[in-house]
Structure 1
Amino acid sequence: MSKLSGMTGFGRADGAGQGWTWSIEARSVNGRNLEVRFRGPGGFDNLERLAKAAGQARFARGQVSIGVQAKRVEAGEAAVTINAAVLARYLTLANELAEDGATPPSADGLLALRGVIEAPEEVDDPEARAALEVAMAATVEQALDALKTSREGEGALLKPVLADFIARIEALVASAETEASAQVDAIRERFTRRITELAPDAPGLEDRIFLEAAALATKADVREELDRLTAHIAAARQLVASAPAGRKLDFLMQEFMREANTLCSKSATTALTGIGLELKAVVEQLREQVQNVE
């Protein structure tokens, strides 16, 4: 099963080969959709294509940045060699000149002669450049894997936070169900008191009170909203257990808020209104956390 993942993280990997060394850094931040950006040395066009494809294969949301720093191995490092045969020829000639009275050769003078030091050549061969880009792309994938692990670490921290908010919403819905069951009696009592005060001797008053109270109770019935909220709670728990779930959770937050708003508008008691307002606050807090989910 895929792990819940956040969208913030960092990964790094290093590599070397063919007279080059390179370092790859991959980082990401929150984003509504997936955007993979690449920054690297000039002339590595195919590496950019490979890097972006690797990022798109691993992530569904977030702004992912891949940075490549590469350089050729410079003289004095392990890749630099001395051509012993050429040096021997120069040394033989220098010794012959010294016998005729010339100044004996110095080490730095000999090393400065052409052909004595052999350094890595430019990667101008298309096949060699392609092989180098493939090697770099493998390191890019290592950095992206490290980034994915980092984002999954954030997801592991988010999961109990999301679960706690969902549990709080569930508790508020249960309280709303209890309070809603008393709405009919509250509406009838309120309507009876007002009608009795205005027209205490009106004929058929009891039947009229019953009909009007029933109509008001129908308008204030929130069972449908509570049923939908219960279904949303189950869906949210299922999404938190799967990945990627960010976009679907975003949509579900809108549905949660829509039902909470309707619950408040239909409320006929102060207590139910209070529950509805608290429910909206918790849904908003959950929505803020969902913005971090891939």
Structure 2
Amino acid sequence: MTGYASVQFTGAAAGEGGPGNARRLGLEIRSVNSRFLDLSLRLSDELRAQEPALRALLTQQLKRGKVELRAFVDSAEFAALAEPTPRLLQRVGTVQDTVRSWLPDAAPLSVAEALRLCANAGAPEQDWSGPTMDLAQRALADMVAAREREGERLVAMLLDRLKQLRALAEQAGPLVPRLVEQQRQRFMERWKEAMQLAEGAAVPEAAQDRALTEATAFAIRIDVAEEVTRLQSHLDEIQRLLKKGGEVGKRLDFLIQELHREANTLGSKSAAMELTRISVDMKVLIEQMREQVQNIE
């Protein structure tokens, strides 16, 4: 299922309490549906060491989905305007002169580049492990909550489709005896026509027996009671899984395939437009369910 969360943390660099040294840690996490757990981490250089712990955290709490986590550290807006000390500027100038003595074609540093070098040189090393894992926990909890809200909406939609499928199945059941009776009447009418053409050569009792035999064979061919029963059983199991919750996506996907198979069989046995319509309507609803089930863990 899809989900997104974004959290931030702003704090001073280790050993520095001034506002000019404040740095911002940002973390975003998003997920889209996938059959397996596919993790992608995009971390700034300061956070590379946290990748194993972040992967372990995501693997522990997530089972499926294409998950992307992005974490970065940057200076607060006012930190970029902090005035470097003359000592730092002197060190940057000395390094530049040394480089250009060996590489005379090297371009001189711009003001922005010099400020960036001074900021990096003046900022002590900071341990981001604690804030990073705290933010990851918060972001993961927010994303899981978002996925749960989406799951509730999907369950409501699926339950509505189940209700419609049950109504269609109930319509299909009574149609079969009526179709058999109609077919028996048609056989009897054809035999009567045949007897009239044969000038009474056929025996009425034999004609009636033959009509009943043909009607019986026809009833066997179009009997969908077994398909309707299995369909109802699958619907009951899907409803049970939806109410149970948990990791039911793969089982639901399998049951949707079984529903589609029964609806196809129902259509292949169809001997009337009513059954054909019911089969088509069922397959439309089942396809709608299939699309949504793909998004459920």
Report TM bin, short chain. 0.7 to 0.9
Unaligned runs of 5+ in 1: 1-6, 83-117
Query: Aligned equivalents of 2:49 and 2:182: distance in 1?
Result: 72
Query: Aligned equivalents of 2:210 and 2:129: distance in 1?
Result: 85
**Residue 206 and residue 27 in structure 1: after superposition, are their counterparts in 2 closer, same or farther (change >3 A)?**
same
Corresponding residue number in structure 1 for 2:98? none
Contact 1:186 1:269 in 2 (8 A): no
1:9 is aligned to 2:11:
no
State the identity as a percent: 34
Give the letter aligned to residue 55 of structure 2.
Answer: K
Query: Aligned equivalents of 1:276 and 1:76: distance in 2?
Result: 67
Contact 1:74 1:119 in 2 (8 A): no
Q: Deviations for 1:157-208, whole angstroms, at most 9, x for unmatched residues?
A: 2222111111001111111112223232123223333344345543422112
Q: Deviations for 1:102-125, whole angstroms, at most 9, x for unmatched residues?
A: xxxxxxxxxxxxxxxx954235xx
Unaligned runs of 5+ in 2: 15-22, 86-120
TM-score by length of 1: 0.73
Corresponding residue number in structure 2 for 1:89? none
Give the letter aligned to residue 255 of structure 2.
Answer: L
Give the root-mean-square deviation of aligned CA atoms. 2.7
Residue 245 (structure 1) shift: 2.1
Corresponding residue number in structure 2 for 1:145? 141
Query: Aligned equivalents of 2:79 and 2:292: distance in 1?
Result: 53
TM-score by length of 2: 0.73
Q: Deviations for 1:58-96, whole angstroms, at most 9, x for unmatched residues?
A: 23332111101124689959xx9x9xxxxxxxxxxxxxx
Query: Aligned equivalents of 2:123 and 2:77: distance in 1?
Result: 8
Give the paired residue count.
Answer: 243
| Correspondence for 1:250 among 241, 246, 253 | 253
**More moved, 43-52 vs 168-177:** 43-52
Q: Report the secondary structure of 1:181's partner residue.
A: helix
Query: Aligned equivalents of 1:23 and 1:171: distance in 2?
Result: 51
**Residue 36 and residue 194 in structure 1: after superposition, are their counterparts in 2 closer, same or farther (change >3 A)?**
farther
**Which structure exhibits the higher relative contact order, with contacts defined as CA atoms closer than 8 Å and separated by 6 or more residues?**
1
Residue 248 (structure 1) shift: 1.7
Query: Aligned equivalents of 1:272 and 1:70: distance in 2?
Result: 63
Contact 1:166 1:233 in 2 (8 A): yes
Query: Aligned equivalents of 1:273 and 1:202: distance in 2?
Result: 36
